[in-house]
Amino acid sequence: MTFPSRRLRRLRRTPALRRLVAETNVTPSDLIAPLFVREDATEPQPIVSLPGIVQHTQESLRKEVNELASLGISGVILFGLPARKDPLGSEAWNPDGVVQVALRNLRDDHGSQMAIIADLCLDEYTDHGHCGVVTDAGDVDNDATLELYQRVALAQAEAGADMVGPSGMMDGQVGAIRQVLDRNGHENLPIMAYSAKYASAEYGPFRDAVDVTITGGGDRKGYQQDPSNAREAMAEIELDIAEGADIIMVKPALAYLDVIAAARARFDLPLAAYHVSGEYAMLKAAAANGWIDGAATAVEHLTAIKRAGADLTLTYLAREFAETLQ
């Protein structure tokens, strides 16, 4: 006589049995690697708070993406560091700007074999570090910013992006971008919307990676979401879908698994999660101290994000995760 619960235990006995009944398996094809490319770099520059991640030169970026492709990673998302910043962030729509050059190179290298995604925002390009036009009073002017996002979207589309990812959390950004793409022959270019993006403390290392400091110790709480709110995320996602989003996103990931699960239950579009810089940095710092097993924790975290309902995950762990599978 055994307890009925023994049924569950029997299937945990060997690695092969566990594999057979695993409900969730992360594969490299679920992952998108965020990559940084720096216009004035002559050598790849390490990012202290993101161990193992660098600011690439155009050449080192091409090499990295070749390697990611051979590891089975499906996509990359590009962030640019321009040599020159100004109040509007005009380098973001320069046809020869750093991301546009990278897009053309990667398009040449990979054809349709890799999804080359462009993050679409202005904070890396503005001298004040905000995601849009700042008024004299110091507020971000939502509607004036939309027109600039349209210019960026067109420049990225024309440089060969497979998809654009607006991350600025301006109201109406998805609709404005969809409209300008459609009017200029890019009806088939999808938009991955950073729909439920929280004003998180976990973006710190990213701001080191892109050399962004918000003027006057400012923050983004006026346009990014309050971590207290989950229902509000559903409203944000619904609006983005109505405006034409093709993929919706929740960001960050692990502290917002409830939001991911709720979005999965409610919406049928592909759902992305962004495992952000701070999540990666915490994992790496603890692992470097020998306090956790970094590789095992990485698998556990990525599995949890998928189990909660994300179809794809943007993560700085993409490369090492794919390498450990080999």
Catalytic residues: 197, 251
The reply on whether position 203 binds ligand PBG by CB under 6 A is yes
Give Cβ neighbours of residue 68 (< 8 Å, ≥ 6 apart). Answer: 33, 76, 114, 318, 319, 322
Query: What would the x/- binding string for ligand PBG be over residues 286 to 305, using CB under 6 A?
Result: --------------------
Sites for ligand PBG among residues 211-230 (CB under 6 A): 220
Q: If binding is defined by CB under 6 A, does position 256 make contact with ligand PBG?
A: no
Which of 167, 173, 195, 225 binds ligand PBG (CB under 6 A)? It is 167
Q: Which is nearer to ligand PBG, 109 or 211 (CB)?
A: 211
Question: Segment near ligand PBG (CB under 6 A), from 115-123, 153-161, 171-179, 256-264?
Answer: 115-123
Q: Which stretch binds ligand PBG (CB under 6 A): 68-76, 118-126, 233-241, 298-306?
A: 118-126
Q: Which two tokens stand for residue 4?
A: 């009925």
Contact 68, 78 (CB under 8 A): no
Terminal CA-CA length for the chain: 43
Min dist. Cβ of residue 252 to ligand PBG (A): 7
Residue choice 150, 195, 277, 313 for contact with ligand PBG (CB under 6 A) = 277
Q: Which two three-digit tokens encode residue 88?
A: 């509007």
CA pair distance 142, 134, nearest whole angstrom? 9
Contact between 121 and ligand PBG per CB under 6 A:
yes
Beta strand 163-166 with 247-251 is unpaired
Query: Looking only at residues 128 through 157 of this chain, which bind ligand PBG when binding is defined by CB under 6 A?
Result: none
Report which DSSP code applies to 173.
H
**173 sits near ligand PBG (criterion: CB under 6 A):** no
Count of residues engaged in binding ligand PBG, rule: CB under 6 A: 9
- Please report how close the Cβ of residue 202 comes to ligand PBG at its closest, in angstroms: 6
Report if residue 236 touches ligand PBG, rule: CB under 6 A: no
The verdict on 125 binding ligand PBG (CB under 6 A) reads no
State yes or no: cis peptide before 252, omega within 30 of 0.
yes
Can you read off the two tokens belonging to residue 228?
A: 């207290």
SS3 content of the chain, % helix, strand, coil (to 5): 45, 15, 40
**Tokens linked to 101:** 């050059």
Nearest to 162 by CA among 117, 123, 195: 117
Q: Are strands 45-46 and 54-56 parallel, antiparallel or unpaired?
A: antiparallel
206 binds ligand PBG (CB under 6 A): yes
Report if residue 123 touches ligand PBG, rule: CB under 6 A.
yes
- Using CB under 6 A as the binding rule, whether residue 315 contacts ligand PBG is answered as no
DSSP 257-272: HHHHHHHHHH--S-EE
3-state DSSP assignment of residue 5: coil
d(CA 139, CA 306): 37
Q: Work out how close the CB of 284 gets to ligand PBG at its nearest, in angstroms, rounded to a whole number.
A: 13
Nearer to ligand PBG, 86 or 108 (CB): 86
Q: Tell me whether residue 5 or residue 121 sits nearer to ligand PBG (CB atom).
A: 121
Q: Which of 74/224 has CB closer to ligand PBG?
A: 224
Burial label, 218 (beta-carbon count in 10 A; 0-12, 13-18, 19+): middle
The binding site for ligand PBG (CB under 6 A) comprises 119, 121, 123, 167, 203, 206, 220, 276-277
